Amino acid sequence: PNGTRVKFETTDIPPVIPELVSSLTVQKVGVQSNWGIGRAGMQYRDLIPDRLGGRYIASHIRIPEGGPVPDYVHHHHILFQLIYCYKGWVRVVYEDQGAPFLMHPGDCVLQPPHIRHMVLECSDAFEVLEIGCPAEHVTLVDHDIALPTEQLRLDRDFGGQRFCFHQAVEADWSAWRVDGFESRDFGFVEATGNIVSVGVVRA
């Protein structure tokens, strides 16, 4: 009516991945940091303003005051996305992955394409790092599914990937390629089918 057009598109179409434009970006957190408000009242800080040509987005996300989070069941049209817990704790729930669970500092989850999930509650001064590809992607709301789901499918395939929860307390450290450093791998190579490798290095 009145010239309005409604266009329906399937989410089965793979996301468009822009060419990588390499650059070095250093972001220092401090009083001058620019924080914006995002989904469910979370505060977001952009870590890669140039998006490396639109290939990646990295965000520093925080919730200063803890408690229940007014989130909703949603999913992302992405190639890959990960969440790394930096400070505090958060309770989250994922489709077909069982009961809600806690993430603590050093923990990381791989969120495969279109897995339904939701943030339930968090501690005071909660902070995470979120990295996704591509930088511009669609977030969709699912009003029809309730989490947690009744079925448990830990090996379920989501667009060629599996959900993966890396827990820092259970991780093994090994020598890194540079003397004096060690690293722990998150196991995302296998979970993503060789799309991404992620880990932490320490001196």
Superfamily of domain 36-171: Jelly Rolls (2.60.120.10)
Give the per-residue pLDDT at 11. 65
Q: What is the pLDDT of residues 89-139, one digit of tens each?
A: 999 999 999 999 999 999 999 999 999 999 999 999 999 999 999 999 999
Residue 93 to residues 66, 148, 186: CA-CA distances in angstroms? 17, 6, 19
Per-domain boundaries in the chain:
36-171
Between CA 16 and CA 173 the distance in angstroms is 36
Residue 175 to residues 131, 171, 172, 185, 197: CA-CA distances in angstroms? 25, 13, 10, 11, 17
Q: pLDDT band at 75, cuts 50/70/90? A: very high
Q: Are 199 and 186 in contact (CB under 8 A)?
A: yes
Give the per-residue pLDDT at 180. 96
Please tell me the number of Cα atoms within 13 Å of 138 on its side-chain side. Answer: 13
Give the per-residue pLDDT at 71. 94
Burial class of residue 31 in the structure, from the number of CB atoms within 10 Å of its CB (0-12 exposed, 13-18 middle, 19+ buried): exposed
- Check whether 1 has a pLDDT greater than 70: no
Give the per-residue pLDDT at 198. 97
Between CA 55 and CA 50 the distance in angstroms is 10
CB neighbour list of residue 27: distance below 8 Å, 6 or more residues apart: 45, 47, 60
Q: What is the pLDDT of residues 150-173, one digit of tens each?
A: 999 999 999 999 999 999 999 999
Q: pLDDT band at 38, cuts 50/70/90? A: confident
